[in-house]
Amino acid sequence: IVKPDGTEKNVIGEVISRFEKKGLRVIALKMVKLTKKNAEGFYVVHKERPFYGDLTDFMSRGPVVVMVLEGDNAISKVREIMGATNPDDAAEGTIRKDYASNIEENTVHGSDSPESADFEINYFFNALEING
Ligand code: CMP
């Protein structure tokens, strides 16, 4: 997901390009504006966390670009390209190092396991929209 700060910063193309250059293939893609409820459902795994309210306000503040990326070791590759959650800890050359404002407004989200990818992909896309 290119988060609302990423769409505001006008780096949708830059983010997608970084994934493509590392061999990942976009097989589904769209821009959506989440409601607060949509964001709460997406991040339900974090509902007990102190940052859940702020996070879901932020994620529903503006449009996001959701996509499915396909490729060998896609989950770990995406996480490497994104960098650490907190941009202060992110490696040079990662998306979050280059664009994130802080630990919350960190420009991108990526699934952290096959199970979360399954949930997250199905949250946004139906079978007709996935071209893998
Ligand atoms: P993301 O990878 O989308 O997963 C959960 C999100 O919560 C995270 O990126 C950040 O945008 C946000 N967040 C805000 N505060 C924290 C925190 N202290 N630790 C982890 N994630 C946080």
Long-range contacts of 92-98 (CB under 8 A, 24+ apart): 95/15, 95/18
Residue closest via CA to ligand 1's atom 6 equals 104
pLDDT tens readout for residues 74-112: 999 999 999 999 999 999 999 999 999 999 999 999 999
pLDDT at 52: 98
Do 68 and 116 contact (CB within 8 A), yes or no? no
pLDDT of 132 higher than 90: no
pLDDT at 104: 98
Q: 109 catalytic, yes or no?
A: yes
Residue closest via CA to ligand 1's atom 11 equals 104
